[in-house]
Amino acid sequence: MTQETDATRYTVQEYFDLVTQGILQADDRVELLEGIIVAEPPMDPPHASGITRVDTAIRKLLGGRAVVRVQQPFIVGGYSVPEPDVAVVPGTEADYDTQHPTQALLIVEVAASSLPQDRLTKSRIYAAAQVPEYWLVNLRDRCVEVFRDPDVANRVYRARHVAQPGDDIALAAAEASVRVSDLLPGLA
């Protein structure tokens, strides 16, 4: 087993430099996770529909009180630039004209084949970034896994709840809730 060193990992700046140099294209489906460039699989219709459903539901709840970004960079520390399916970030759109966000109120990933990575790697990245809520819309098991109360030092969420169709999920940033069935394709 080889030991990974900082020399074998890309920094956030090196990752963006790859785009500037033309090695990566701006529309390549990749993310930087813990210093490793990870390819994203092609999006199937249920995944795309799940993203649209989450985006629509969150925008209705927030009513413009925060910015909702869909599949756009979120910078976490020096080695991660995930592109969450939906991110609710503080401020206004203009706050991100010249920089990507480094804070979020809520991150949502829609997943089927990427469930292990979203549960393990991404949840640790988002906990380390102090994202107070992380929702994993689990297309495979038809539920939403809700992670809250990040432990930054240990890079884990202390609370995890599985919400089923028919349940509501409270969104702290909006002091409102959304129905799980509104987030899952084929249930609304």
Q: Domain coordinates of the chain in residue numbers?
A: 42-182
More confident residue, 147 or 1: 147
pLDDT of residue 15 exceeding 90, the answer is: yes
Cβ-proximal residues to 159 (8 Å cutoff; 6+ apart), any chain: 147, 148, 149
pLDDT of residue 174 exceeding 80, the answer is: no
Extract the runs of DSSP E, i.e. beta strands, from the chain.
30-33, 36-39, 67-70, 86-89, 106-111, 133-138, 143-151, 156-163, 168-171, 176-179
Average pLDDT rounded to a whole number, residues 117-132 = 96
Residue 1 has what pLDDT? Answer: 43
pLDDT of residue 43 exceeding 70, the answer is: yes
pTM of the shown model: 0.92
pLDDT of residue 9 exceeding 80, the answer is: yes
CATH number of 42-182: 3.90.1570.10
pLDDT of residue 2 exceeding 50, the answer is: no
- pLDDT tens-digit readout, 102-116: 999 999 999 988 899
